[in-house]
Amino acid sequence: MIKIVSGFSLPAGSTVALVNLCNQLNERGYDCILYGPDNWHMDKCKSAKMSDFCPENGDTIVVHNINLFSVVELYKIENKFEELRKKKRLVSLKGVFVRHFPRSRKHVGIRLILSCQENELFPLRRLNYAMFDKIHYVHSSQITYHKIMHRHFVCPNFSNHLIASEHKPIRTAGVIGSIRQEYQTEVSIENALQDGMEPVILYGYLIDPVYYYEQIVPLIKKYPGKIRFAGFIDDKQKIYDSVSDVYCTVGRAWSLVKKECALTNTRYHGPDTSSIEEELMTNDQIFNVWKKELEL
């Protein structure tokens, strides 16, 4: 059984990537289930709550966004389990690991993969990556960023089926991606408005409401009637059908936005960070990488 377990299953790019991975594996005949602490993923793929997660002999476990440091520390955390759980939902998963994993970092019968979908938001050097059999990077640039020596493989995320939009609106901009300071959403909005776009629609998970209130709300007042907030929309085709242009300020090399713009005949205004080789990988090719690395 392939078990994907993530410390974050709210609507954002990494969750969509894991949902797609789970669905692709199941569609191709490999039993896979996605565990997460939140509810959003529950009706998107074969899924369960974090509390149902239990490693079993023979499992391949793909871990995402969980700060596992050391087995020794896990034992200490277990002692503070109830206290820490109030602060962080992830502690419940750590508790599961504490109960099921031996003190040794050898996990006989369990293959442990760390899926790294972030850079500065999840620095690998701060956790005990040695306990994983392999690290999965979604882009080769992450190898340089994280600067750790460990067995790894690079494989982009599966992409959604998208088609060129038939009836595009005129000069309507989308700012696609989680709304947070690090992604400089406010700069993307300003760029779109300076290009004469109206309206500018924000499509993304509101990860930092304080940032929204401090940085985006003043723009809404400065440009009355021109900025709209849609939130995270599941249906990407609907997003691209609703905009003529997409603005992005901080480009992550593994972001699918540029590729999706090309598929939907949407103009892309943003950094060109992805490599041609990874852009061109089909879902079949991506699956073949997973098949090899998970030894399916």
Partner 1 sequence: MKNFESDFYNVLNLLKIREPFAFNRFSDGELYILQNKELILDAEQVKVGQTVTKGIYKEEDFKKFHPKEHSFYRDRLVDAFKFKRRNYFKGLSCRCCVGDENFQWQLDFHGEYDRNFTWSNLFVNGNYAKFIHEMYPVFNEYKTVFICNENADLSVLPFLVNDFRVGYNAMVQDYGLIEVIKSWITENNIEGYLFLFSASSFSKMAIHQLYEFCDKNTYIDVGTTLNPFMNMRVDRTYLKSFWLGEKGSDINKICIW
Binding site for partner 1 (CB under 8 A): 10-11, 39-40, 43, 199, 201, 205-206, 209-210, 212-213, 217, 220-221, 224-234
Contact at 8 Å (CB) between 235 and 161? no
Contact at 8 Å (CB) between 219 and 190? yes
What is the smallest separation between the CB atom of 216 and partner 1, expressed in angstroms?
Answer: 9
What is the smallest separation between the CB atom of 201 and partner 1, expressed in angstroms?
Answer: 6
As beta bridge partners, residue 200 has 173, 227
Choose between 169 and 271: whose C-beta lies nearer to partner 1.
169
Choose between 257 and 286: whose C-beta lies nearer to partner 1.
257
Write the DSSP string, 83-99: HHHTT-TTHHHHHHHHH
Choose between 131 and 243: whose C-beta lies nearer to partner 1.
243
Rg (CA), the chain: 20
Q: How many CA atoms lie within 13 A of 44 on its CB side?
A: 24
What is the smallest separation between the CB atom of 44 and partner 1, expressed in angstroms?
Answer: 12
The helix/strand/coil state of 202 is strand
Choose between 15 and 274: whose C-beta lies nearer to partner 1.
15
Q: How many CA atoms lie within 13 A of 246 on its CB side?
A: 27
What is the smallest separation between the CB atom of 235 and partner 1, expressed in angstroms?
Answer: 9
Q: How many helices (H) and strands (E) does the chain have?
A: 12, 12
What is the smallest separation between the CB atom of 43 and partner 1, expressed in angstroms?
Answer: 8
What is the smallest separation between the CB atom of 150 and partner 1, expressed in angstroms?
Answer: 34
Cα angle, residue 210 at apex, residues 206 and 216 outer, rounded to 5°: 70
Distance, CA of 247 to CA of 234 (rounded, Å): 19
Choose between 7 and 11: whose C-beta lies nearer to partner 1.
11
Choose between 124 and 243: whose C-beta lies nearer to partner 1.
243
Distance, CA of 205 to CA of 252 (rounded, Å): 16
Any idea which residue has 């499992």 for tokens? Answer: 59
Contact at 8 Å (CB) between 82 and 30? no
Distance, CA of 292 to CA of 282 (rounded, Å): 16
Choose between 156 and 199: whose C-beta lies nearer to partner 1.
199
What is the smallest separation between the CB atom of 224 and partner 1, expressed in angstroms?
Answer: 7
